[in-house]
């Protein structure tokens, strides 16, 4: 570095110090710059780029501007509504079942039963197990040739011949749902348990003294405390299950006969099997829009941004 440059740098540094840019402002920059750069690079730029791309035909060679053409042809096809319906069926059934099972278990463990702590630790496993491992387990259990469920059902005389659950029209969706519930019921469980443990035990004591039945205590004390958590589970878990890709892709690839093809699976197929990125990003755009609608409901219902100051 030349001496002239050195002295100019030194002068600039002095000026910075004099303007008290040494501490607070630098700290401010250190706090926010990484986050802003990061969001710009991995969220804003790709999404804006993709939304732009969704207005073109597949850009492999000579992309052609079609405006909302991709969106119109997606929404105009009966296929889209079928996949939307599959997504809704999957999201609603997995969310509802997870909620019921999670609630049951949370109420049970909240009774401070013997072994409750062990049971709580146990419930964390399915949740932490990688999706792939969960799929391997259930593929084995439900396998038509060597799966133990089929072995059990046949030996018990309940069915004549083994069922290929993941590849049979009427069983594919239920099989995917059961696999998903096995993994995600603990999400509802932990959130509900946290709420239950925050309820003042005196409330139950008072209710008991006044002769309330167990059901009445549940209806008038427990349920009102859980209502907010249940709504969060329905909304947030519902969004996530609606958008779930890995479980369905790994278990059925969307088959048989598109029986379990949901919108996320379809986005992947259009992008990587049909190599039509214009159409794929348009479908992703529609899902983005659906998420935004639910998010508005979520923000209206909870104002979660008020939780941080």
Span interacting with other proteins, options 73-81, 92-100, 126-134, 220-228, rule CB under 8 A: 126-134
Q: Of the candidates 55, 74, 99, 141, which one interacts with other proteins according to CB under 8 A?
A: 141
Q: Does 106 help bind other proteins (rule: CB under 8 A)?
A: no
Residue 289 is a binding residue for other proteins (CB under 8 A): no
Distance in Å, CB of 169 to other proteins, minimum: 21
Query: Is 89 one of the binding residues for other proteins (CB under 8 A)?
Result: no
Q: Which is nearer to other proteins, 7 or 85 (CB)?
A: 85
Closest CA to 66 of 290, 293, 276, 272: 276
For position 121 contacting other proteins by CB under 8 A, the verdict is: yes
Q: Does 134 bind other proteins (CB under 8 A)?
A: yes
Cis peptide upstream of residue 100 (ω within 30 degrees of 0): no
* Interface pick for other proteins out of 55, 74, 105, 173 (rule CB under 8 A): 105
Closer CB to other proteins, 66 or 239, in the complex: 239
Asked if residue 92 binds other proteins (CB under 8 A), the reply is no
Of residues 204 through 243, those in contact with other proteins by CB under 8 A are 214, 232-233, 236, 239-240, 243
| Residue 67 binding other proteins, by CB under 8 A | no
- How far apart are alpha carbons 131 and 24 in whole angstroms? 44
Is residue 111 close enough to count as binding other proteins by CB under 8 A?
yes
CB of 264 to other proteins, least distance (A): 4
Based on the shown chain and the rule CB under 8 A, indicate whether residue 90 belongs to the binding site for other proteins.
Answer: no
User: Is residue 194 near other proteins by the rule CB under 8 A?
Assistant: yes
Range 5-64, binding other proteins (CB under 8 A): 23-24, 26-28, 30-32, 34-35, 38-39, 41-43, 45-47, 49-50, 53
Rounded CA-CA distance 128/183 in Å is: 8
Angle at 86 between CA 84 and CA 87, to 5 degrees: 65
Residue 308 as a binder of other proteins (CB under 8 A): the answer is yes
Task: Name which of residues 153 to 192 contact other proteins (CB under 8 A).
Answer: 182, 187, 190-191
Q: Does 101 bind other proteins (CB under 8 A)?
A: yes
Closer by beta carbon to other proteins, 16 or else 27: 27
Residues that contact other proteins, how many (by CB under 8 A):
94
3-state secondary structure the chain: CCHHHHHHHHHHHHHHHHCCCCCHHHHHHHHHHHHHHHHHHHHHHHHHHHHHHCCECCCCCCCCECCCHHHHHHHHCHHHHHHHHHHHHHHHHHHHHHHHHHHHHHHHHHCCCCCHHHHHHHHHHHHHCCHHHHHHHHHHHCCCCCCHHHHHHHHCCCCCCCCCHHHCHHHHHHHHHHHHHHHHHHHHHHHHHHHHHCCCHHHHHHHHHCCCCHHHHHHHHHHHHHHHHHHHHHHHHHHHHHCCCHHHHHHHCCCCCCCCCCHHHHHHHHHHHCCCHHHHHHHHHHHHHHHHHHHHHHHHHHCHHHHCC
Q: In angstroms, what is the minimal distance from the CB of 308 to other proteins?
A: 5
287 near other proteins (CB under 8 A): yes
Question: Do the Cβ atoms of 252 and 260 come closer than 8 Å?
Answer: yes
Query: Binding segment for other proteins among 61-69, 160-168, 169-177, 275-283 (CB under 8 A)?
Result: 275-283
């Amino acid at each position: 570095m030349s001496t002239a440059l050195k002295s100019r740098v030194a002068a600039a540094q002095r000026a910075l110090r004099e303007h008290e840019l040494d501490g607070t402002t630098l700290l401010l920059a250190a706090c926010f710059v990484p986050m802003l750069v990061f969001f710009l690079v991995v969220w804003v730029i790709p999404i804006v780029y993709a939304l732009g791309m969704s207005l073109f035909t597949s850009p492999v060679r000579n992309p052609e501007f079609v405006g909302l053409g991709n969106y119109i042809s997606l929404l105009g096809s009966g296929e889209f509504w079928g996949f939307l319906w599959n997504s809704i069926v999957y999201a609603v059934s997995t969310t509802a079942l997870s909620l019921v099972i999670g609630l049951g278990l949370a109420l049970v463990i909240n009774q401070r039963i013997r072994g409750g702590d062990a049971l709580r630790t146990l419930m964390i496993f399915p949740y932490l197990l990688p999706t792939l491992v969960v799929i391997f387990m259930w593929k084995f259990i439900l396998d038509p040739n060597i799966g133990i469920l089929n072995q059990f059902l046949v030996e018990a005389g309940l069915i004549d011949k083994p069922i290929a659950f993941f590849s049979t029209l009427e069983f594919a969706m239920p099989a995917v749902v059961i696999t998903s519930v096995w993994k995600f019921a603990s999400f509802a469980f932990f959130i509900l348990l946290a709420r239950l443990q925050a309820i003042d035990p005196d409330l139950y004591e008072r209710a008991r003294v006044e002769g309330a039945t167990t059901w009445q205590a549940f209806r008038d004390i427990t349920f009102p405390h859980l209502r907010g958590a249940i709504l969060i589970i329905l909304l947030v878990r519902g969004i996530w299950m609606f958008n779930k890709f890995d479980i369905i892709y790994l278990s059925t690839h969307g088959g048989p006969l598109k029986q379990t093809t949901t919108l996320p699976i379809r986005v992947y197929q259009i992008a990587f099997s049909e190599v039509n990125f214009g159409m794929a990003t348009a479908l992703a755009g529609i899902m983005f829009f659906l998420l935004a609608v639910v998010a508005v409901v979520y923000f209206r219902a909870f104002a979660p941004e008020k939780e941080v100051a």
